[in-house]
Amino acid sequence: MKLNQLFLEQLDVETKSTRRALERVPEGKNDWKPHEKSMPLGYLAALVAKMPGWIAMMVDQDAYDLNAKDARFQPVALATNEELVASFDEAAAAARRALLGTTDEHLQKNWKMLVGGHVVSDAPRYTSIRDAVFTHLGHHRGQLTVYLRLNEALVPSIYGPSADEREF
């Protein structure tokens, strides 16, 4: 199986459950957070919504600096669920287009993550996509479901049933 096909299948799985979680984010609570050290709900939801778009960035660029003045992947809290889901759908579509247009050879070339010009990661694109997108997305989506529960929103089933959804 080609790497892009493997990632497209994973994107399909993650897109369904992530979209359901984003649809349930309570509006009007962007500043809410469970602890002073936690991310605000609006920022976390926007981060989860944008993360699939990182795949396109990793395929299309050789490096990305988180502290660059033109850093376009910094999440901005959105006012409505409609905007949040639209942002997610746009990011997932960009990921799909990038994966469809790439090759195993390209995915095996290194991609760098920088912070203020300092290299913090230099690994094959497929490793970066696996770790910095899919695994990282699962982590932040898990955080988001805890935020949903603490705000009395229904928690969707993700990899199995939740207390609110027995079927998945």
pTM: 0.94
Q: Is residue 157 assigned to a domain?
A: no
Q: What CATH number is associated with residue 136?
A: 1.20.120.450
Q: Is residue 58 assigned to a domain?
A: yes
The tokens describing 10, both together, are 């994973």
In tens, the pLDDT along 95-133 reads: 999 999 999 999 999 999 999 999 999 999 999 999 999
The domain in which residue 68 lies consists of 3-150
Helix (H/G/I), strand (E/B), else coil: 140: helix
d(CA 163, CA 157): 8
Q: Is residue 125 assigned to a domain?
A: yes
pLDDT value at residue 73: 67
Is the pLDDT confidence value at 71 over 70?
no
**Average pLDDT of the residues of the chain:** 95
Mean pLDDT of 147-165: 95
